[in-house]
């Protein structure tokens, strides 16, 4: 394997991790603020389930997107 492919793979995984973390934070902040406004105290409870679902969906979605993009960059579907 060429060093460029290894570096590209590492960078793509870092980008995948960064986008997943951003999506999780973007989901958690409003849900946490809403829970604080409703209950008056900070609690980690049911608002974490949608955050986890979104994080997993983004992680696997970006993995699928990267695989498809790599296949098309190599010369099309086989």
For residue range 26-71, what is the model confidence (pLDDT) as tens digits?
988 888 888 888 877 666 677 788 889 999 999 999 999 888 887 7
Query: Among residues 62, 58, 68, which one has the least CA distance to residue 26?
Result: 58
pLDDT reported for residue 77: 58
Domain extent at residue 17? 3-74
pLDDT reported for residue 59: 93
Give SS3 for 12. Answer: helix
Predicted TM-score (pTM) of this structure: 0.75
pLDDT reported for residue 19: 94
The domain tally of the chain equals 1
pLDDT reported for residue 26: 92
> What are the respective helix, strand and coil percentages of the chain, to the nearest 5?
80, 0, 20
- Output the six-digit token pair for 44: 């980690």
């Amino acid at each position: 394997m060429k060093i460029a492919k290894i570096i590209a793979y590492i960078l793509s995984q870092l980008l995948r991790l960064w986008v997943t973390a951003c999506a999780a934070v973007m989901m958690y902040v409003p849900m946490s603020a809403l829970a604080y406004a409703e209950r008056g105290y900070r609690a980690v409870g049911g608002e974490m389930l949608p955050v986890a679902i979104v994080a997993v969906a983004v992680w696997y979605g970006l993995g699928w997107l990267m695989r498809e993009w790599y296949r098309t960059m190599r010369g099309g579907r086989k």
